[in-house]
């Protein structure tokens, strides 16, 4: 018997390789004009959530849209980005404290490192939270594994005026 099987570990040969993320990562939301936002990689949350300090619904060409404001940098309300997205759904979401909230759901493109995909994101006021974004397990499924003991495995936020060396990736 191979050594890994003796330890109760079964190797699946045809499973695609998954990228390993840390418990927090920098990502981009190109369709919303967000170049960099720090996200908590939260396998305990089913849905992903994005901080929106205001959300204004409207209709255009017979479809439902939302205009919303994001403070992409923690503890910095001076930097604000206004975004627009088509509404995919509205859902009642229960947060980690057990509070239920009716949220707009949008679908947008996400980019972590060189991996790009579309995911559903709910909009909510996360102003009192440590992270402007949560990336939940539905968005992670079949793409990533999470190493809860590490941070920024895909790369740290570059410091202004400094170039990144290859060793920092």
Sketch out the chain's domains with CATH numbers.
Answer: 35-146 (2.40.70.10)
| Contacting residues for 107 by C-beta, under 8 A, at least 6 apart | 85, 86, 88, 118, 119, 120, 121
Give the other-Cβ count within 10 Å of 139's Cβ: 23
Would you state the pLDDT for residue 162? 43
Would you state the pLDDT for residue 11? 58
Q: Are the C-beta atoms of residues 155 and 169 closer than 8 Å to each other?
A: yes
pTM for the model:
0.80
Would you state the pLDDT for residue 146? 93
Would you state the pLDDT for residue 74? 82
Low-confidence ranges of the chain (pLDDT < 70): 1-16, 156-169
What is the DSSP code (8-state) at residue 138? H
Give the C-alpha distances (Å, rounded to integers) separating 82 from 24, 109, 110, 131: 24, 16, 17, 18
| pLDDT tens column, 119-148 | 999 999 887 788 889 999 999 999 999 999
């Amino acid at each position: 018997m191979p050594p890994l099987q003796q330890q109760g570990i079964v190797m699946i040969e045809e499973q695609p390789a998954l990228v390993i993320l840390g418990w927090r990562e920098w990502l981009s939301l190109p369709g919303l004009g967000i170049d960099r936002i720090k996200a908590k990689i939260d396998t305990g949350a089913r849905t992903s959530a994005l901080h929106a300090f205001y959300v204004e619904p409207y209709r255009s060409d017979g479809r439902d849209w939302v205009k919303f404001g994001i403070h992409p940098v923690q503890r910095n309300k001076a930097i604000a980005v206004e975004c627009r997205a088509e509404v995919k759904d509205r859902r009642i979401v229960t947060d980690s404290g057990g509070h239920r909230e009716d949220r707009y759901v949008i679908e947008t493109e996400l980019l972590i490192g060189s991996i790009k995909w579309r995911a559903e994101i709910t909009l909510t006021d996360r102003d009192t939270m440590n992270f402007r974004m949560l990336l939940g397990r539905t968005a992670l499924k079949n793409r990533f594994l999470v190493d809860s003991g590490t941070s920024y495995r895909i790369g740290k936020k570059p410091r202004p005026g400094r170039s990144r060396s290859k060793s920092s990736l």
